[in-house]
Structure 1
């Protein structure tokens, strides 16, 4: 491996907490109230708790497996390394590796897309008759990310990720405060918590909602984050996860509960959309919407750079010289070119495909579900081989089986949604969050649907959470 792409193992457990928080707690958490519209209060809160417990448990399983193999002299730095050494080389090369790479790059695209949409929201609030198109803002945001992408290693992102942690708390607080303000005001919609739709749409909607919630907790780079820890790593990952999940409890549950309480089954794919009425008039002060979107934009850049790391590693492993110093001209020039190229490609895709959320929802079902819900218990059972008479064996098997079923149904639902939305797809479309003005010939309903799907791409995180579904 080249020096330029080598993971620097100098982080403390606090830095680990920053990295984990940035990779999980992202703006797609603002789509959680939308998931509740398909589940209702009881099922929505219950599944959020289940997803939190399962992912916290699974990430600790991954940590234990990585630590066990490292103590035996086989250090694994990525999901594909784990699949190769534990399940066999074909699993790492042909399945897990490509899944992780595709997933992480899709999160990058989704971050750029949502960042551009947030920038255009600010623009239209200050200049309602402005003529700038969405793709222009996507390019601006992509240039901002291109600068941050030049950070040499994952460890060097620790200060950016600390700021990211503060930002996610900030815009979550704004979302909660805005929802409560509108919920108590006379301007807010009438609260209705009934689940709409016929039997078919309600069933698919429920599984879509489960997938939205599950992927909101997703993290496709846990091994890379653990690899940044300075030895000995024992107990550090657990402490980092505790930091992360403390933030998750405050942000995820706060935004989901307050948003659904305020807007009921009118909650949109991104709760910020509900801060504008049907005529595009803000229901909260304009400065409040400006502030919330600025916080969101800044954190999206950090999330995108974190998920760009696997792409950087693959490219730099192929083109850098391990015998030359990390900051020599031989390594700096290729790194600058390759990182700029990968960011530029992500920016072009985001500008061309503002309906990317529907596609990303399918990738989320095939990507985040296996990496975060299915493979960790499989890795643990294959590594430690607990007796079939022990509860932990059957607990792990149950988690893998249940979420395999949920992932399969979510994939079917994602394909169904792509078919339903296909007629609204348009290259370089000019959709925007929370604004009713759209391009000539584009309907209001397709604008809302697309802004919802854009808001839900996460990654992975898909983002930046995905699975946007129109109400049928």
Structure 2
């Protein structure tokens, strides 16, 4: 026991869960966690020191990010009833599924084993291999895709600010991507997930601010008739409408997606019981306000002419539809907030690299651990920057990430985990509710994946590496 690092004691040897004492571990059990004590990813990145309110900050930053500004585009493909309806369904299902994951994690902690990662949950509940070959790769793609989307939207905001001040400026989008990528590489050196709590509090405030500004701007444009003629019909023939609708569902799923609930819950100091639910309530109070205000006001103002991001609609033939000072403000707020979003979604990647390359027997800030941390986190940010500069197409990226990652990970997997863990009987309504959700959203994921790939193929003629969009 003496060889365990103090930060890992609560991960594997919780003295209490809630008010109930846990039985002591046998010598055989004690040996197995001792191997886990060599896990530098848990030791350095997933420190369990936060409160439920810190958890709320992390959750809000991970959900209220760049995809929010694409919700208007999604509504344009679904119409009023379909768009608002699926927006509401997705909110209820994700809140429910995130709470189920939390209950499963609390149950495992109650048994004496606190799981810290999504892939740990998969291996524990579904068997060895599911974490490394299914859930783990899916989570990595989802989270890294969100880093790319964050860098892209932040760079687009920087470019907008630049062109407002220098209308004939010659700087290209990829140059702003490089600048923001370098900034991300610097911030990526912040050592642990818990260390981001103050940044994520600022992010929560900023997301409320820029989404309120975006809503106000959309309402102003809608009432002033400066925007395009209002047309709320769903465009295209029947086949196009169906494919576009499923692509829109994938975009909405991306907006609500998280993909890292276990890693966020891992930052909570034990006992964890009930804390994640409080964090979710804080998060979803912000989510409901921002998502519905932005999407409804944007669709009201621009109808089926809504662009991939709402901010792109604030111009008509290059001329701003709102005062320039307002555009300066909203783009600055957005740029700062999405920088925080990128940092949050880098954490699973950071944890993997720390687990692989760091030495837990050395100090967190020893030369042995600081050097590989700096190298590999910088390299991770550099690769994301390169991909962003090469493929700057935000709307289509949203659809792909949602279809292949967020829908399976956040809508399907949680209800399966719950049913396998608690094994509700077929007489229990929860069993059938969970089964229905799993089947329904598996179908939605499959069709949305086809729709997202189809949309990319249709837009392929407009794609160009390092495009200045």
Is TM-score (shorter-chain normalized) higher than 0.5?
Answer: yes
Q: Which residue of 1 aligns with 2:85?
A: 46
Q: Deviations over 1:298-349 (max 9, x none)?
A: 0111000000011111111111111111111111111111111111111111
* Cα distance in 2 between the residues matched to 1:378 and 1:74: 20
| Residue 397 (str. 1) matches residue 435 (str. 2) | yes
Q: Which residue of 2 aligns with 1:69?
A: 108
* TM-score normalised according to structure 2 size: 0.90
| Residue 365 (str. 1) matches residue 403 (str. 2) | yes
| Residue 84 (str. 1) matches residue 131 (str. 2) | no
Alignment of 1:36-435 (within 5 A): 36-277=75-316, 279-355=317-393, 358=396, 361-431=399-469
* Cα distance in 1 between the residues matched to 2:313 and 2:45: 44
* Cα distance in 2 between the residues matched to 1:360 and 1:171: 20
Match of 1:354, SS? coil
Structure 1 unaligned regions, length at least 5: 432-472
What is the CA distance between 1:355 and its match in structure 2? 3.2
- Is the contact made by 2:254 and 2:401 (CA closer than 8 Å) also made in structure 1? no
| Residue 35 (str. 1) matches residue 67 (str. 2) | no
Q: Which residue of 1 aligns with 2:28?
A: none
* Cα distance in 2 between the residues matched to 1:174 and 1:358: 25
What is the CA distance between 1:152 and its match in structure 2? 0.8
What is the CA distance between 1:197 and its match in structure 2? 1.1
Match of 1:77, SS? coil
What is the CA distance between 1:213 and its match in structure 2? 1.3
1:24 pairs, out of 63, 66, 88, with 63
Alignment of 1:430-449 (within 5 A): 430-431=468-469
* Cα distance in 1 between the residues matched to 2:292 and 2:399: 22
What is the CA distance between 1:23 and its match in structure 2? 0.2
Match of 1:191, SS? coil
What is the CA distance between 1:50 and its match in structure 2? 0.6
| Larger displacement relative to structure 2 (90-99 or 59-68) | 90-99
- Is the contact made by 2:308 and 2:394 (CA closer than 8 Å) also made in structure 1? no
- Is the contact made by 2:254 and 2:398 (CA closer than 8 Å) also made in structure 1? no
- Is the contact made by 2:76 and 2:299 (CA closer than 8 Å) also made in structure 1? yes
* TM-score normalised according to structure 1 size: 0.89
Match of 2:420, SS? helix
Structure 2 unaligned regions, length at least 5: 1-38
* Cα distance in 2 between the residues matched to 1:174 and 1:57: 29
What is the CA distance between 1:17 and its match in structure 2? 0.4
Q: Deviations over 1:137-184 (max 9, x none)?
A: 001111111121111100000000000001100110111110111111
What is the CA distance between 1:409 and its match in structure 2? 0.3
* Cα distance in 1 between the residues matched to 2:188 and 2:397: 25
What is the CA distance between 1:106 and its match in structure 2? 1.3
- Structure with max Cα Rg: 2
- Is the contact made by 2:309 and 2:395 (CA closer than 8 Å) also made in structure 1? no
**What is the number of equivalent residue pairs in this alignment?**
430
